[in-house]
Amino acid sequence: MTDVVDPATRSRMMSGIRGKNTKPEIAVRLGLHALGFRYRLHPKQIPGKPDLWLPKYTAAIFVHGCFWHGHDCSLFKMPAIREDFWKAKISANRARDVRVNELLAFRNLRRLEIWECAFRGPGRIGLDKTLDQAAKWLRGTELRGEIRGTR
Protein backbone atom coordinates (compact mmCIF):
# COMPACT_ATOMS: atom_id res chain seq x y z
CA MET A 1 0.00 0.00 0.00
CA THR A 2 1.35 3.44 -0.93
CA ASP A 3 1.19 6.52 1.24
CA VAL A 4 -1.58 9.01 0.44
CA VAL A 5 0.82 11.98 0.65
CA ASP A 6 4.26 12.57 -0.84
CA PRO A 7 7.39 11.91 1.29
CA ALA A 8 8.09 15.62 1.90
CA THR A 9 4.58 16.22 3.21
CA ARG A 10 4.71 13.11 5.40
CA SER A 11 8.07 14.22 6.79
CA ARG A 12 6.69 17.68 7.61
CA MET A 13 3.62 16.12 9.27
CA MET A 14 5.69 13.73 11.40
CA SER A 15 8.17 16.43 12.45
CA GLY A 16 5.27 18.45 13.87
CA ILE A 17 4.44 15.75 16.43
CA ARG A 18 5.83 16.79 19.78
CA GLY A 19 7.33 14.60 22.49
CA LYS A 20 6.74 17.13 25.26
CA ASN A 21 3.89 19.48 26.11
CA THR A 22 1.27 17.52 24.21
CA LYS A 23 -2.42 18.41 24.61
CA PRO A 24 -3.16 15.43 26.91
CA GLU A 25 -0.08 16.23 29.02
CA ILE A 26 -1.08 19.88 29.39
CA ALA A 27 -4.66 18.88 30.29
CA VAL A 28 -3.34 16.59 33.06
CA ARG A 29 -0.95 19.28 34.30
CA LEU A 30 -3.62 21.97 34.48
CA GLY A 31 -6.13 19.62 36.10
CA LEU A 32 -3.76 18.35 38.78
CA HIS A 33 -2.57 21.89 39.52
CA ALA A 34 -6.19 22.99 39.99
CA LEU A 35 -6.61 20.11 42.47
CA GLY A 36 -3.67 21.47 44.48
CA PHE A 37 -0.89 19.17 43.31
CA ARG A 38 2.50 20.72 42.63
CA TYR A 39 5.05 19.18 40.31
CA ARG A 40 8.17 19.64 38.22
CA LEU A 41 8.26 19.12 34.48
CA HIS A 42 10.57 16.65 32.74
CA PRO A 43 13.29 16.49 35.44
CA LYS A 44 16.53 15.09 34.05
CA GLN A 45 17.56 13.46 37.34
CA ILE A 46 14.51 11.13 37.37
CA PRO A 47 14.72 8.05 35.09
CA GLY A 48 12.71 8.50 31.92
CA LYS A 49 12.35 12.28 32.40
CA PRO A 50 8.67 11.94 33.40
CA ASP A 51 6.10 14.39 32.12
CA LEU A 52 5.35 15.32 35.73
CA TRP A 53 7.40 14.69 38.87
CA LEU A 54 5.70 15.17 42.23
CA PRO A 55 8.48 15.17 44.89
CA LYS A 56 6.02 15.23 47.81
CA TYR A 57 4.58 11.91 46.62
CA THR A 58 7.82 10.52 45.12
CA ALA A 59 5.72 9.93 42.02
CA ALA A 60 6.45 10.14 38.31
CA ILE A 61 3.58 10.59 35.88
CA PHE A 62 3.96 9.66 32.23
CA VAL A 63 1.26 10.68 29.73
CA HIS A 64 1.70 8.21 26.85
CA GLY A 65 0.45 8.41 23.29
CA CYS A 66 -1.15 5.09 22.42
CA PHE A 67 0.39 4.95 18.94
CA TRP A 68 3.97 5.72 19.99
CA HIS A 69 4.00 3.11 22.75
CA GLY A 70 2.02 0.41 20.91
CA HIS A 71 -0.82 0.39 23.43
CA ASP A 72 -3.38 -2.41 23.16
CA CYS A 73 -6.36 -0.16 22.51
CA SER A 74 -8.47 1.02 19.59
CA LEU A 75 -6.17 4.01 18.97
CA PHE A 76 -3.20 1.85 17.97
CA LYS A 77 -2.88 0.38 14.51
CA MET A 78 0.45 -0.65 13.00
CA PRO A 79 1.05 1.37 9.82
CA ALA A 80 1.04 -0.63 6.61
CA ILE A 81 3.76 1.54 5.07
CA ARG A 82 7.37 1.02 6.25
CA GLU A 83 6.11 -1.67 8.62
CA ASP A 84 9.62 -2.83 9.57
CA PHE A 85 10.62 0.70 10.56
CA TRP A 86 7.52 1.20 12.72
CA LYS A 87 7.80 -2.20 14.38
CA ALA A 88 11.40 -1.42 15.36
CA LYS A 89 10.50 2.11 16.53
CA ILE A 90 7.57 1.01 18.69
CA SER A 91 9.48 -1.99 20.05
CA ALA A 92 12.31 0.33 21.08
CA ASN A 93 9.83 2.63 22.84
CA ARG A 94 8.32 -0.32 24.71
CA ALA A 95 11.77 -1.60 25.69
CA ARG A 96 12.67 1.86 26.99
CA ASP A 97 9.46 1.90 29.04
CA VAL A 98 10.45 -1.42 30.63
CA ARG A 99 13.94 -0.11 31.48
CA VAL A 100 12.49 3.07 32.99
CA ASN A 101 10.05 0.99 35.07
CA GLU A 102 12.94 -1.08 36.41
CA LEU A 103 15.02 2.00 37.25
CA LEU A 104 12.11 3.68 39.03
CA ALA A 105 11.35 0.50 40.99
CA PHE A 106 15.02 0.15 41.96
CA ARG A 107 14.93 3.70 43.36
CA ASN A 108 11.59 3.08 45.14
CA LEU A 109 9.87 5.75 43.06
CA ARG A 110 6.20 5.51 42.20
CA ARG A 111 5.00 5.53 38.56
CA LEU A 112 1.65 6.37 37.00
CA GLU A 113 0.96 5.88 33.30
CA ILE A 114 -1.90 7.86 31.81
CA TRP A 115 -2.76 6.69 28.31
CA GLU A 116 -4.09 8.85 25.50
CA CYS A 117 -7.11 6.54 25.15
CA ALA A 118 -8.37 7.85 28.51
CA PHE A 119 -9.07 11.15 26.67
CA ARG A 120 -9.74 10.07 23.09
CA GLY A 121 -11.46 7.33 21.18
CA PRO A 122 -14.54 5.21 21.72
CA GLY A 123 -13.47 3.96 25.16
CA ARG A 124 -12.51 7.31 26.66
CA ILE A 125 -13.34 7.92 30.31
CA GLY A 126 -12.88 11.69 30.11
CA LEU A 127 -10.60 14.21 31.76
CA ASP A 128 -12.54 14.54 35.03
CA LYS A 129 -12.52 10.82 35.75
CA THR A 130 -8.86 10.60 34.71
CA LEU A 131 -7.93 13.39 37.11
CA ASP A 132 -9.98 11.83 39.93
CA GLN A 133 -8.21 8.49 39.45
CA ALA A 134 -4.80 10.21 39.28
CA ALA A 135 -5.47 12.17 42.48
CA LYS A 136 -6.63 9.03 44.27
CA TRP A 137 -3.50 7.16 43.14
CA LEU A 138 -1.22 10.00 44.21
CA ARG A 139 -2.74 10.07 47.70
CA GLY A 140 -2.45 6.27 47.96
CA THR A 141 0.55 4.04 48.39
CA GLU A 142 0.61 1.88 45.25
CA LEU A 143 3.94 1.85 43.45
CA ARG A 144 2.45 1.49 39.95
CA GLY A 145 -0.71 2.77 38.43
CA GLU A 146 -2.33 2.94 35.03
CA ILE A 147 -5.21 5.01 33.74
CA ARG A 148 -6.59 4.04 30.36
CA GLY A 149 -9.82 4.08 28.40
CA THR A 150 -12.24 1.20 28.61
CA ARG A 151 -11.74 -1.68 26.21
Q: Where are the domains of the chain?
A: 20-147
pLDDT tens-digit readout, 26-43 = 999 999 999 999 999 999
pLDDT of res. 49: 95
Asked if residue 53 lies in contact with residue 25, where contact means CB atoms within 8 angstroms, the answer is: no
Contact residues for 54 (Cβ-Cβ < 8 A; gap 6+) = 37, 38, 39, 40, 60, 61, 138
CATH for the stretch 20-147: 3.40.960.10
pLDDT tens-digit readout, 55-83 = 999 999 999 999 889 999 988 888 888 88
pLDDT tens-digit readout, 97-114 = 999 999 999 999 999 999
